[in-house]
Amino acid sequence: MKKINILLSTFFGYGYLTKIPGTITSAVTVVFLYIAYEVLGYNDLKFSIIFFILLFFYSFYAVKDSEAEFENKDPRQIVIDEVLGQSMPIILLLYLNQTNQINSPIEIYYIFSFIFFRFFDILKPFPVNYFDKNYKNYFGIIMDDIIAGLYAMILIYLISLKF
């Protein structure tokens, strides 16, 4: 089971690939979800939300189980938190697109989603930094990216109102 949890925590090994695994994993998540939603037409909002929630809760267990395999408290190899955080504004895009609240090309919103999430994940404004600094464990690893994803969702929603 530990091997499965490490595989999930590192997003099938993406966490080992480069010196910027968070950015690479966020980009891969955007591309994967773009292909699934926009190219292949798999746009079941309920399934996406349920899958996200299940992945969110299981990730706590997977990351906690995997942490001991790495040297520091917030190992860069663990990137499932980037997948979760980056997925949040994209699931919102799925909803906005289905409710005809997107008036510009959808690709622009995917790009904004990536930029906004990475901006908040790297800059770590409050309360992202609170979770990052005060929870040096699986909870903090995941929750700082969830809050960054929430901030990205808010900006995406505000942009959808203007464009």
pLDDT tens, 14-38?
Answer: 899 888 999 999 999 999 999 999 9
| CA pair distance 19, 22, nearest whole angstrom | 9
- Which candidate, 47, 76, 159, places its Cα nearest to that of 111? 159
pTM confidence score: 0.94
pLDDT higher than threshold 90 for residue 101: yes
Would you call 107 helix, strand, or coil by DSSP? Answer: helix
**Model pLDDT for residues 45-62, shown as the tens digit of each residue:** 999 999 999 999 999 999
> Buried b / exposed e across 34-43, counting CB within 10 Å, b at 16+?
beebbeeeee
Which residues form the domain of 85? 2-162
Q: Please report which residue ranges of 76-137 form alpha helices under DSSP H.
A: 80-98, 106-123, 128-134
Question: Would the pLDDT of 163 be above 90?
Answer: no
From the list 43, 21, 17, the residue with the least C-alpha distance to 145 is 21
pLDDT surpassing 90 at residue 105: yes
Highest mean pLDDT among 6-10, 68-72, 85-89: 85-89
Q: Please state the domain count of the chain.
A: 1
Section 68-84 average pLDDT: 86
